[in-house]
Structure formats: structure tokens, C-alpha cells
Amino acid sequence: MEWLRYGAQHYPNRKCINEYTYNDIYRGVLHVARNLLPLDASRVAILSDNSVTMAMYVLAAMLVHKEVLLLNVHLKPKEIENQLDQLGVTTVLHSKERSNQLSHFVDSKASNSIVTNEFETLERILSDLAVEDSFDWVFVDTDIAAIMNTSATTGQFKSVPLRWGQIKAHVQASQEVLGKTDQDNWLMVLPLFHVSGLSILMRSLYNGTAITILPKYDEAQVLKLIESEQINMMSLVPTILTQLEPHITHHALRVILLGGEFIPMALIEACEKKSLPIYKTYGMTETFSQSVTFSVLEYPHKRESVGKPLPGMQVRIDNPDTDGVGEIHLTGPMVMTGYINKEPIDGDFNTDDIGYIDEDGFIYILNRRKDLIISGGENVYPKELEDLVYTLPSVKECAVVPVPDAKWGQVPALFVAFHDGKSLLPEDILAFMSNSLAKYKVPKYVKALTALPRNGTGKILRNELKLEN
């Protein structure tokens, strides 16, 4: 937070967010913070799509030392109610566009306990030139800056507290690995309510560089920003980059952070041909975004890896088998201390991912433990199968999930979507896979879809893939 004030003092006219300067954003945050001071609650929630106004409200709530619950805009009203109730949040700050998701609290008895406050307009916020800075800009490392809920099942959420110590450790380590230039302008199309979006905001403030926020992904607009060299840094999921890459003909990009799901090798190879500066990453909400990364262009022979740990982070393999494959554990200052209202973590975080570390210290992810398919006692790693299917030119996207089987316990099932006007017969796909895989790894079922279901950040919703649908 203090990075914003520093920027306003030392480079007030430097671009901060979109066309607004560090001084503009600083004054706007002060205005919003003054209006939030009367709130008694120690926690507040924010519900909004990406915008300059949302960024100001997030920063302002942090400035008055609130723990900020960032709500996913795709939640249903009942899911929002569950999250607020679980964390004891009684105040929701929201954009005008998201008012309908909160009408439940206005129209029901819930209004007795939940207060909803709509954002002021950006024009009104920026018109206040008289606000004074009398705020406490000292933030203790152990204090919670933001809360993000993850892994929702049957209305239950794991609440991740993002503390100032984690954030500081991450932005410092990220700068050390990615570097910075005065021309840096980081495109934000991933949601600010997601850790990837929040980390962009914090890293840019720390570096004193610019951010370009888009309300949502718009391919034409993103291409225009790339071609005009208005941006030189992006954080994307593979799905978006797969759509974008064929249309990039000119760029001044120096960093493309790529993560959130497994990355098809075909996409990596296509980007290498254009010298697109991909940094593969591995991280999660619990570590305030990526904790492992590397430049594919710098280490092309390690392209199947997710990289090395960021400075200060350590990775170990727990219970490795004879091939060194086991559960991935993380330690370091970016790791959370434990979920809210759960047992604390003793510094060692089990990611629930399975992988190994090579002789050069590069980390390889084979699969999420929960996605591992055990068929007749044999381990089947969906990623291995998906990587193979992605080599077929007609395949747009795919996913392998387990389905119950009376004989083998579980067998793999392949769900696949094709590029427009292209398709393959299931038997042809299976014949192709049989040439490269052991029999127990070959999917028993193949189902073609027009598109795979995804969440707001582009991750495939594997639990929604059903053969009977």
C-alpha cells in the first residue's frame, strides 16, 4: 500500500492505471478511504468486474485496514450469502452492474444484517481535490490484506488469508526474476477478484509501473494494445493465449505469464516460433499467485517444466517413488499460515499436486493428486494423455477425467472439442493414442463437445464433464 503513496510523492504524473496517473489514483483512494472510515466492520466484501473504480475501492479498503473479501462475480446470490455468513461479513461494496446479485439482501430479512454500498462514480471520486492524507500507512506483515475463497463444494469454501508479509515477499521476488523497466505496462484481463489479478496490481504498484485494466477479455482490443505496443506484459491462461497467438503479428512484449492450467506443447512451440516471451508459472491462491516460474525462450530444453522456485521459496517432493515422483510441498514467505477457521500450517504446504524435480532443480507437474486416475492399480496421469491429444491439429481443447468401472475401479474418459469445421472419429483418436500409450492408459470412452466448461478464469471444470450429459 505504501507503494502507492511513494509513487504519488516521487512520480505523480507517471501513468498508473489506464490513463490515470499515480497522483490521480492516490487522491481517488484517499477519497474512497475517507468514506469507508465510519464502517465498524473489520471485514468488508467487494463485488465487481474489473475497473479502475474497483481497484480504487480495493486499495481504499486496505488503506483503512479492512480485511477485504474479494467475491467472484460468477457466484449465485445464495453462494454469496454462504460466503458472507461463513466469514462474518456484513458490508458489501459493489459496482452498479452487480446490484442484481445483492437484491436478495435488500428484499429479504437478510437486509437486517447485510449492508450493501454501491460504488461512487469515477468522475465523482476524482473530482474531490480537497481530501487530506491523515491515514495510517503502516501495515504489519501478519495482518490480512485480502481474503479469497477457493475450492467450493456443497456450499463450503476454504478461505485463504492473504497477509501483507506474503504480498511483500512475492512482489520483491517477482521483480528479481522478471525485472522491470520504466516502460512496463501490465495488461489485466484476469479478474481482480482472482489472485492473478490482485498480484498484477500489487506488483505494478511496487515497481512504480503502469497497468491497463480491461473489464473483460476482448480479443480485438487486446490485439490492438499489443500491436500498438501500449502494453509489454500480460498474465493469461492457456485458453486465451491459444485464441490470441495466431493473430499476433507484431509486438513489444517482454513477459507473458502463463499458468492456471496445463499448457499444451503445441501452444508453446507456436509461441517459440514467434519469439513470444512465455514464462511458464506454477502457483496458487495460497502462495499469492506463482511461486515457481521460468522463461521458455531462455531454457527451451526445459519447456515441459514449470521452472524453478522464486527467491525465498523451497520445493520438496514428499514420499517419492523409485522415479522420484511424489507430492509437491512448498515452504517460504509466500505460503499462507493456514485457512481461516482451520488448523494453521506449520510452514510446510502440501499442494496436492504430483511431480518431480530434475537434476538442475527444475520442477515438473504430472497432475493434481485429485485428478490422478488409478485403474487396476496402475497410475494414469491425465496430463500425459492430454498432451498427446493436443498434438492432433484438429483438437482445440481436451480433458481426461476418471469414470467408475466395475472391473478396473476407474478408467480414463476423454472429452474433446475440435476447431471449427474439423473433427475426428473416436476410434481414430483411440487408434492414434494406442500407438504411444500402454493399453491401461488409453481412454475407454471418448466424447466430443462443442466446448469444454470453464470457470471465470478459464480453468476447465472437470467435475462437470459427464458421459451421460
- The average pLDDT across 122-135 equals 91
pLDDT of residue 242: 85
Assigned C-alpha cell, 312: 525465498
Give CA–CA dist 57/201, Å, rounded: 13
Q: Write down the pLDDT at residue 260.
A: 72
Give just the sign of the alpha carbon dihedral 261, 266, 269, 271. Answer: negative
pLDDT at 294 over 50: yes
- pLDDT, tens digit, 9 for 90 and up, residues 417-432: 999 888 999 999 999 9
| Predicted local distance difference test score (pLDDT) of residue 148 | 95
**Phi, psi of 167, deg, nearest 5:** -60, -45
Q: Which residue has the cell 445483492?
A: 102
Distance CA 223, CA 351 (A): 35
CB 362 within 8 A of CB 194: no
Decide if 177 contacts 207 (C-beta within 8 A).
no
DSSP letters, 351-367, are: EEEEEEE-TTS-EEEEE
User: What tens digit of pLDDT does each residue of 336-353 get?
Assistant: 999 999 888 888 899 988
Tell me which of 285 and 381 has the higher pLDDT: 285
SS percent in the chain: helix, strand, coil, step 5: 35, 30, 40
Which residues are registered as beta bridge partners of 362? none
Q: Average pLDDT over the chain, rounded to whole?
A: 91
Mean pLDDT of 208-217: 95
Residue 222 in this model has a pLDDT that exceeds 50: yes
Task: Determine the residue type at 20.
Answer: Y
Q: Which residue bears the cell 462437470?
A: 464
Residue 95 pLDDT exceeds 60: yes
Mean pLDDT of 379-389: 87
CA 410, 413, 416: angle at the middle one, nearest 5? 165
Checking if the pLDDT of 457 tops 90, the result is no
C-beta atoms surrounding 3 within 10 Å:
18
39-43, 112-116, 136-140, 252-256: least confident range: 112-116
The grid coordinates listed for 152 are 467450493
Hey, what domains does the chain have and what are their CATH numbers?
A: 2-138 (3.40.50.12780), 167-369 (3.40.50.12780), 372-464 (3.30.300.30)
3-state secondary structure of 58: helix
Of 265, 186, 288, whose CA–CA distance to 280 is shortest?
Answer: 265
- Tell me which amino acid residue 54 is: M
Band of residue 106 on the pLDDT scale cut at 50, 70, 90: low
Distance between CA atoms of residues 158 and 335, nearest Å: 15
Most confident of 153-167, 214-228, 262-276: 214-228
Residue 267 φ/ψ, nearest 5 degrees: -70, -45
Confidence of residue 373 (pLDDT cuts 50, 70, 90): confident
Provide the pLDDT for residue 154: 42
Residue entry with cell 517460504: 332
Beta strands of 96-163 (E only): which ranges?
115-118, 144-153, 156-163
Q: How confident is the model at residue 460 (pLDDT cuts 50, 70, 90)?
A: confident
Please check the confidence at residue 153 and state whether its pLDDT lies above 50. Answer: no
Full strand arrangement of the beta sheet holding 409-418: 395-405, 409-418, 445-448
pLDDT bin (cut points 50, 70, 90) of residue 40 is confident
- Phi, then psi, of 184 in degrees rounded to 5: -60, 130
pLDDT value, residue 156: 66
> What confidence score (pLDDT) does residue 151 get?
59
